[in-house]
Structure 1
Protein backbone atom coordinates (compact mmCIF):
# COMPACT_ATOMS: atom_id res chain seq x y z
CA UNK A 1 0.00 0.00 0.00
CA UNK A 2 2.89 2.37 0.73
CA UNK A 3 4.20 1.95 -2.84
CA UNK A 4 0.75 2.63 -4.27
CA UNK A 5 0.39 5.77 -2.17
CA UNK A 6 3.85 6.92 -3.26
CA UNK A 7 3.00 6.27 -6.94
CA UNK A 8 -0.30 8.15 -6.63
CA UNK A 9 1.49 11.10 -5.05
CA UNK A 10 4.09 11.01 -7.85
CA UNK A 11 1.30 10.99 -10.44
CA UNK A 12 -0.35 13.99 -8.78
CA UNK A 13 2.94 15.90 -8.68
CA UNK A 14 3.53 15.11 -12.38
CA UNK A 15 -0.03 16.19 -13.25
CA UNK A 16 0.34 19.43 -11.31
CA UNK A 17 3.55 20.26 -13.14
CA UNK A 18 2.25 19.21 -16.57
CA UNK A 19 -0.91 21.25 -15.97
CA UNK A 20 1.26 24.31 -16.58
CA UNK A 21 0.85 23.55 -20.29
CA UNK A 22 -2.55 25.23 -19.96
CA UNK A 23 -0.66 28.50 -19.47
CA UNK A 24 2.16 27.83 -21.97
CA UNK A 25 1.41 29.93 -25.05
CA UNK A 26 2.07 28.90 -28.65
CA UNK A 27 2.61 30.88 -31.81
CA UNK A 28 -0.93 30.15 -32.99
CA UNK A 29 -4.17 32.07 -32.70
CA UNK A 30 -7.70 30.90 -31.94
CA UNK A 31 -10.89 31.91 -33.72
CA UNK A 32 -11.18 35.30 -32.02
CA UNK A 33 -7.47 36.13 -32.01
CA UNK A 34 -6.59 34.74 -28.56
CA UNK A 35 -3.25 32.99 -28.30
CA UNK A 36 -3.52 29.21 -28.16
CA UNK A 37 -1.96 27.24 -25.30
CA UNK A 38 0.16 24.13 -25.72
CA UNK A 39 -2.50 22.18 -23.81
CA UNK A 40 -5.16 23.21 -26.34
CA UNK A 41 -2.92 22.14 -29.22
CA UNK A 42 -2.16 18.83 -27.50
CA UNK A 43 -5.85 18.11 -26.90
CA UNK A 44 -6.79 18.64 -30.54
CA UNK A 45 -3.75 16.75 -31.82
CA UNK A 46 -4.71 13.78 -29.63
CA UNK A 47 -8.23 13.87 -31.04
CA UNK A 48 -6.77 14.09 -34.56
CA UNK A 49 -4.58 11.03 -33.87
CA UNK A 50 -7.54 9.10 -32.45
CA UNK A 51 -9.52 9.73 -35.63
CA UNK A 52 -6.69 9.00 -38.06
CA UNK A 53 -5.71 5.75 -36.31
CA UNK A 54 -8.84 4.25 -37.90
CA UNK A 55 -6.97 4.40 -41.23
CA UNK A 56 -4.05 2.43 -39.77
CA UNK A 57 -5.35 -0.70 -38.00
CA UNK A 58 -1.81 -2.08 -37.80
CA UNK A 59 -0.68 0.74 -35.49
CA UNK A 60 -0.60 0.57 -31.72
CA UNK A 61 -3.29 3.19 -31.05
CA UNK A 62 -2.40 3.47 -27.37
CA UNK A 63 1.21 4.33 -28.21
CA UNK A 64 0.10 6.86 -30.82
CA UNK A 65 -2.29 8.55 -28.39
CA UNK A 66 0.30 8.62 -25.61
CA UNK A 67 2.90 10.11 -27.95
CA UNK A 68 0.41 12.83 -28.87
CA UNK A 69 -0.26 13.53 -25.19
CA UNK A 70 3.41 13.86 -24.22
CA UNK A 71 5.02 15.21 -27.40
CA UNK A 72 5.11 18.85 -26.17
CA UNK A 73 5.39 18.32 -22.40
CA UNK A 74 8.88 19.80 -22.38
CA UNK A 75 7.46 23.12 -23.59
CA UNK A 76 6.26 23.89 -20.10
CA UNK A 77 9.94 24.44 -19.30
CA UNK A 78 11.31 25.55 -22.70
CA UNK A 79 8.28 27.38 -24.07
CA UNK A 80 7.07 27.02 -27.63
CA UNK A 81 9.77 28.00 -30.09
CA UNK A 82 8.19 28.59 -33.49
CA UNK A 83 9.96 26.86 -36.38
CA UNK A 84 10.56 30.19 -38.07
CA UNK A 85 12.46 31.42 -34.98
CA UNK A 86 14.41 28.23 -34.23
CA UNK A 87 17.98 28.88 -35.31
CA UNK A 88 19.56 26.02 -33.34
CA UNK A 89 17.70 22.72 -33.66
CA UNK A 90 20.29 20.76 -31.66
CA UNK A 91 20.06 23.16 -28.71
CA UNK A 92 16.26 23.05 -28.82
CA UNK A 93 16.27 19.24 -28.79
CA UNK A 94 18.85 19.19 -25.98
CA UNK A 95 16.87 21.66 -23.86
CA UNK A 96 13.63 19.76 -24.48
CA UNK A 97 15.27 16.48 -23.45
CA UNK A 98 16.50 18.03 -20.19
CA UNK A 99 13.01 19.42 -19.51
CA UNK A 100 11.38 16.11 -20.37
CA UNK A 101 13.81 14.23 -18.10
CA UNK A 102 12.94 16.61 -15.26
CA UNK A 103 9.22 15.96 -15.74
CA UNK A 104 9.50 12.20 -16.03
CA UNK A 105 11.80 12.26 -13.01
CA UNK A 106 8.66 13.06 -11.00
CA UNK A 107 7.14 9.72 -12.03
CA UNK A 108 7.75 6.19 -10.79
CA UNK A 109 10.56 4.56 -12.78
CA UNK A 110 8.25 2.29 -14.79
CA UNK A 111 6.16 5.22 -16.04
CA UNK A 112 9.20 7.42 -16.64
CA UNK A 113 10.89 4.72 -18.72
CA UNK A 114 7.74 4.23 -20.80
CA UNK A 115 7.28 7.96 -21.48
CA UNK A 116 10.97 8.43 -22.24
CA UNK A 117 10.82 5.65 -24.83
CA UNK A 118 7.78 7.22 -26.49
CA UNK A 119 9.36 10.69 -26.44
CA UNK A 120 12.52 9.32 -28.05
CA UNK A 121 10.37 7.55 -30.65
CA UNK A 122 8.70 10.87 -31.45
CA UNK A 123 11.94 12.85 -31.56
CA UNK A 124 13.60 10.36 -33.90
CA UNK A 125 10.52 9.21 -35.80
CA UNK A 126 11.60 5.61 -35.33
CA UNK A 127 8.11 4.08 -35.17
CA UNK A 128 5.10 4.29 -37.45
CA UNK A 129 3.08 5.64 -34.53
CA UNK A 130 5.60 8.44 -33.94
CA UNK A 131 5.73 9.35 -37.63
CA UNK A 132 1.92 9.55 -37.79
CA UNK A 133 1.82 11.81 -34.74
CA UNK A 134 4.59 13.98 -36.19
CA UNK A 135 2.62 14.42 -39.44
CA UNK A 136 -0.61 15.18 -37.60
CA UNK A 137 1.23 17.59 -35.28
CA UNK A 138 2.19 19.59 -38.37
CA UNK A 139 -1.34 19.22 -39.77
CA UNK A 140 -2.95 20.46 -36.54
CA UNK A 141 -0.69 23.51 -36.56
CA UNK A 142 -1.58 24.31 -40.18
CA UNK A 143 -5.25 23.77 -39.41
CA UNK A 144 -5.02 26.19 -36.49
CA UNK A 145 -3.30 28.72 -38.74
CA UNK A 146 -6.15 28.63 -41.27
CA UNK A 147 -8.95 28.52 -38.70
CA UNK A 148 -7.60 31.12 -36.31
CA UNK A 149 -7.68 34.89 -36.48
CA UNK A 150 -4.05 35.68 -37.17
CA UNK A 151 -2.19 39.00 -37.17
CA UNK A 152 -2.53 40.90 -40.45
CA UNK A 153 1.09 40.17 -41.37
CA UNK A 154 0.76 36.40 -40.77
CA UNK A 155 2.83 34.39 -43.27
CA UNK A 156 0.38 31.82 -44.66
CA UNK A 157 2.94 30.90 -47.32
CA UNK A 158 4.84 29.16 -44.51
CA UNK A 159 2.06 26.56 -44.25
CA UNK A 160 2.60 25.37 -47.82
CA UNK A 161 6.03 23.92 -47.03
CA UNK A 162 5.74 23.25 -43.30
CA UNK A 163 6.33 19.58 -42.50
CA UNK A 164 5.61 18.46 -46.05
CA UNK A 165 8.08 15.57 -45.74
CA UNK A 166 5.87 13.84 -43.16
CA UNK A 167 2.84 13.50 -45.42
CA UNK A 168 3.94 10.36 -47.22
CA UNK A 169 1.02 7.95 -47.61
CA UNK A 170 -2.32 8.21 -49.38
CA UNK A 171 -4.32 9.38 -46.33
CA UNK A 172 -1.77 11.97 -45.29
CA UNK A 173 -1.32 13.17 -48.87
CA UNK A 174 -5.08 13.72 -49.16
CA UNK A 175 -5.08 15.58 -45.86
CA UNK A 176 -2.19 17.72 -47.08
CA UNK A 177 -4.04 18.64 -50.29
CA UNK A 178 -6.97 19.87 -48.21
CA UNK A 179 -4.73 21.82 -45.83
CA UNK A 180 -2.83 23.39 -48.73
CA UNK A 181 -6.09 24.47 -50.34
CA UNK A 182 -7.32 25.98 -47.08
CA UNK A 183 -4.04 27.86 -46.88
CA UNK A 184 -4.25 29.06 -50.48
CA UNK A 185 -7.74 30.34 -49.73
CA UNK A 186 -6.20 32.58 -47.05
CA UNK A 187 -3.46 34.02 -49.29
Structure 2
Protein backbone atom coordinates (compact mmCIF):
# COMPACT_ATOMS: atom_id res chain seq x y z
CA UNK A 1 0.00 0.00 0.00
CA UNK A 2 1.30 3.46 -0.89
CA UNK A 3 2.00 6.00 1.92
CA UNK A 4 -0.92 8.19 0.85
CA UNK A 5 -3.29 5.22 0.92
CA UNK A 6 -2.10 4.38 4.44
CA UNK A 7 -2.60 7.98 5.55
CA UNK A 8 -6.14 7.95 4.15
CA UNK A 9 -6.89 4.70 6.00
CA UNK A 10 -5.73 6.36 9.22
CA UNK A 11 -7.87 9.44 8.53
CA UNK A 12 -10.90 7.25 7.87
CA UNK A 13 -10.32 5.33 11.12
CA UNK A 14 -9.79 8.55 13.12
CA UNK A 15 -13.22 9.73 11.92
CA UNK A 16 -14.58 7.61 14.76
CA UNK A 17 -13.54 10.34 17.20
CA UNK A 18 -16.45 12.39 15.84
CA UNK A 19 -18.78 9.87 17.49
CA UNK A 20 -16.97 9.50 20.82
CA UNK A 21 -18.95 11.65 23.26
CA UNK A 22 -17.45 13.34 26.29
CA UNK A 23 -18.82 14.41 29.66
CA UNK A 24 -19.18 17.94 28.31
CA UNK A 25 -22.13 19.61 26.68
CA UNK A 26 -22.25 22.13 23.86
CA UNK A 27 -24.10 25.41 24.24
CA UNK A 28 -27.01 23.72 22.43
CA UNK A 29 -27.27 21.06 25.14
CA UNK A 30 -25.93 18.11 23.14
CA UNK A 31 -22.82 16.25 24.29
CA UNK A 32 -19.62 17.23 22.53
CA UNK A 33 -17.36 14.75 20.77
CA UNK A 34 -13.69 14.09 21.36
CA UNK A 35 -13.02 15.39 17.84
CA UNK A 36 -14.71 18.70 18.68
CA UNK A 37 -12.68 19.02 21.88
CA UNK A 38 -9.42 18.30 20.04
CA UNK A 39 -10.28 20.82 17.31
CA UNK A 40 -11.01 23.62 19.77
CA UNK A 41 -7.94 22.72 21.82
CA UNK A 42 -5.84 23.11 18.64
CA UNK A 43 -7.54 26.43 17.91
CA UNK A 44 -6.82 27.68 21.44
CA UNK A 45 -3.21 26.49 21.22
CA UNK A 46 -2.78 28.16 17.84
CA UNK A 47 -3.88 31.46 19.36
CA UNK A 48 -1.78 31.25 22.53
CA UNK A 49 1.34 29.32 21.42
CA UNK A 50 3.09 32.41 19.99
CA UNK A 51 3.33 33.71 23.59
CA UNK A 52 5.34 30.63 24.58
CA UNK A 53 8.75 29.34 23.50
CA UNK A 54 7.33 26.31 21.66
CA UNK A 55 7.29 24.76 18.21
CA UNK A 56 3.81 25.71 16.98
CA UNK A 57 3.52 22.88 14.44
CA UNK A 58 4.48 20.30 17.05
CA UNK A 59 2.08 21.87 19.54
CA UNK A 60 -0.83 21.75 17.09
CA UNK A 61 -0.16 18.12 16.11
CA UNK A 62 0.06 17.20 19.79
CA UNK A 63 -3.37 18.78 20.32
CA UNK A 64 -4.83 16.83 17.42
CA UNK A 65 -3.54 13.42 18.56
CA UNK A 66 -3.60 13.76 22.35
CA UNK A 67 -6.95 11.93 22.70
CA UNK A 68 -6.49 9.33 19.92
CA UNK A 69 -6.57 6.70 22.66
CA UNK A 70 -10.28 7.42 23.16
CA UNK A 71 -11.11 6.13 19.68
CA UNK A 72 -12.01 2.63 20.86
CA UNK A 73 -12.51 2.88 24.64
CA UNK A 74 -14.27 6.24 24.67
CA UNK A 75 -13.78 9.21 26.95
CA UNK A 76 -13.36 8.46 30.63
CA UNK A 77 -14.14 11.58 32.63
CA UNK A 78 -11.56 12.76 35.16
CA UNK A 79 -14.48 13.43 37.51
CA UNK A 80 -15.11 9.66 37.57
CA UNK A 81 -11.67 9.24 39.18
CA UNK A 82 -10.55 6.42 36.87
CA UNK A 83 -7.65 4.05 37.48
CA UNK A 84 -5.03 6.20 35.73
CA UNK A 85 -2.59 3.35 35.09
CA UNK A 86 -5.25 1.12 33.54
CA UNK A 87 -6.64 4.01 31.52
CA UNK A 88 -3.18 4.93 30.22
CA UNK A 89 -2.36 1.34 29.23
CA UNK A 90 -5.66 0.94 27.37
CA UNK A 91 -5.19 4.25 25.57
CA UNK A 92 -1.58 3.39 24.68
CA UNK A 93 -2.72 0.08 23.19
CA UNK A 94 -5.40 1.83 21.15
CA UNK A 95 -3.08 4.63 19.99
CA UNK A 96 -0.58 2.03 18.77
CA UNK A 97 -3.41 0.24 16.97
CA UNK A 98 -4.73 3.26 15.10
CA UNK A 99 -1.24 4.59 14.33
CA UNK A 100 -0.31 1.18 12.88
CA UNK A 101 -2.32 2.20 9.82
CA UNK A 102 0.28 4.88 8.98
CA UNK A 103 3.62 4.53 7.20
CA UNK A 104 6.29 3.35 9.67
CA UNK A 105 8.18 6.63 10.10
CA UNK A 106 5.01 8.65 10.63
CA UNK A 107 3.62 6.04 13.01
CA UNK A 108 6.78 6.17 15.12
CA UNK A 109 6.93 9.98 15.09
CA UNK A 110 3.31 10.38 16.16
CA UNK A 111 3.54 7.72 18.85
CA UNK A 112 6.63 9.45 20.28
CA UNK A 113 4.70 12.74 20.24
CA UNK A 114 1.72 11.14 22.00
CA UNK A 115 4.07 9.64 24.59
CA UNK A 116 5.81 13.01 25.07
CA UNK A 117 2.41 14.58 25.79
CA UNK A 118 1.51 11.88 28.30
CA UNK A 119 4.91 12.05 29.99
CA UNK A 120 4.68 15.87 30.06
CA UNK A 121 8.37 16.09 29.11
CA UNK A 122 8.59 19.16 26.87
CA UNK A 123 7.44 22.79 26.77
CA UNK A 124 4.91 21.79 24.10
CA UNK A 125 3.53 18.97 26.26
CA UNK A 126 3.25 21.22 29.31
CA UNK A 127 1.40 23.85 27.28
CA UNK A 128 -0.97 21.34 25.67
CA UNK A 129 -1.66 19.69 29.07
CA UNK A 130 -2.67 23.05 30.53
CA UNK A 131 -4.74 24.07 27.51
CA UNK A 132 -6.43 20.64 27.41
CA UNK A 133 -7.67 21.29 30.94
CA UNK A 134 -8.53 24.90 30.05
CA UNK A 135 -10.59 23.93 26.99
CA UNK A 136 -12.52 21.41 29.06
CA UNK A 137 -13.29 24.02 31.72
CA UNK A 138 -14.25 26.58 29.05
CA UNK A 139 -16.68 24.04 27.59
CA UNK A 140 -18.10 23.21 31.01
CA UNK A 141 -18.66 26.91 31.68
CA UNK A 142 -20.10 27.57 28.21
CA UNK A 143 -22.18 24.43 27.78
CA UNK A 144 -25.83 23.84 28.52
CA UNK A 145 -25.18 21.27 31.23
CA UNK A 146 -27.54 18.89 33.03
CA UNK A 147 -28.96 20.14 36.36
CA UNK A 148 -26.67 17.92 38.45
CA UNK A 149 -23.47 19.13 36.72
CA UNK A 150 -20.61 19.53 39.22
CA UNK A 151 -18.98 22.90 38.49
CA UNK A 152 -17.01 22.76 41.75
CA UNK A 153 -14.86 19.95 40.35
CA UNK A 154 -13.40 22.45 37.86
CA UNK A 155 -12.11 24.74 40.61
CA UNK A 156 -9.34 22.19 41.31
CA UNK A 157 -9.23 20.33 37.98
CA UNK A 158 -5.75 20.45 36.46
CA UNK A 159 -4.56 23.35 38.62
CA UNK A 160 -0.89 22.24 38.81
CA UNK A 161 -0.57 22.58 35.01
CA UNK A 162 -1.19 26.35 35.16
CA UNK A 163 1.74 27.40 37.36
CA UNK A 164 4.63 27.72 34.89
CA UNK A 165 3.82 30.83 32.85
CA UNK A 166 2.11 34.15 33.69
CA UNK A 167 -0.32 33.77 30.79
CA UNK A 168 -1.40 30.35 32.06
CA UNK A 169 -1.91 31.73 35.57
CA UNK A 170 -3.98 34.58 34.11
CA UNK A 171 -6.03 32.11 32.06
CA UNK A 172 -6.65 29.98 35.14
CA UNK A 173 -7.77 33.01 37.15
CA UNK A 174 -10.30 33.91 34.45
CA UNK A 175 -11.61 30.34 34.26
CA UNK A 176 -11.86 30.01 38.04
CA UNK A 177 -13.82 33.28 38.24
CA UNK A 178 -16.24 32.04 35.57
CA UNK A 179 -16.57 28.66 37.28
CA UNK A 180 -17.16 30.22 40.70
CA UNK A 181 -19.94 32.29 39.16
CA UNK A 182 -21.64 29.10 37.92
CA UNK A 183 -21.23 27.49 41.35
CA UNK A 184 -22.80 30.54 43.01
CA UNK A 185 -25.70 30.50 40.53
CA UNK A 186 -26.30 26.82 41.23
CA UNK A 187 -25.92 26.97 45.01
CA UNK A 188 -26.93 30.58 45.62
CA UNK A 189 -30.23 29.66 47.19
CA UNK A 190 -28.29 27.81 49.88
CA UNK A 191 -26.12 30.82 50.74
CA UNK A 192 -22.90 28.93 50.07
CA UNK A 193 -19.78 31.07 49.60
CA UNK A 194 -17.49 30.09 46.73
CA UNK A 195 -14.06 31.58 46.16
CA UNK A 196 -12.44 31.32 42.73
- Residues 1:96 and 1:15: Cα distance change in structure 2 (over 3 Å): same
Q: 1: distance between equivalents of 2:100 and 2:73?
A: 16
Q: 5+ unaligned residues in a row in structure 2: which ranges? A: 184-196
Match of 2:38 in 1: 42
Q: 5+ unaligned residues in a row in structure 1: which ranges? A: none
Q: 2: distance between equivalents of 1:43 and 1:30?
A: 14
Q: 2: distance between equivalents of 1:92 and 1:146?
A: 26
TM-score (norm 1): 0.95
- Corresponding residue to 1:16 among 12, 18, 31: 12
Match of 1:72 in 2: 67
Is residue 10–residue 102 contact of structure 2 (8 Å, CA) maintained in 1?
yes
Q: CA deviation at 1:32?
A: 1.6
- Corresponding residue to 1:182 among 167, 178, 183: 178
- The number of equivalent residue pairs is 182
Question: Pairwise mapping of residues 79-158 of structure 1 onto structure 2 (< 5 A)?
Answer: 79-158=74-153
- Corresponding residue to 2:168 among 166, 172, 183: 172
Q: Name segments (4+ residues, structure 1) moved above 6 Å.
A: none
Is residue 76–residue 82 contact of structure 2 (8 Å, CA) maintained in 1?
no
Q: CA deviation at 1:87?
A: 2.9
TM-score (norm 2): 0.91
Q: Secondary structure at the match of 1:36?
A: strand
Match of 1:52 in 2: 48
Cα deviation, 1:121-176, whole Å, max 9, x if unaligned, reads 10000000011000000000000000000011111000100000000120000000
Tell me the C-alpha RMSD between the 2 structures.
0.8
Q: CA deviation at 1:119?
A: 0.3
User: RCO higher in 1 or 2 (8 Å CA, sep ≥ 6)?
Assistant: 1
Match of 2:190 in 1: none
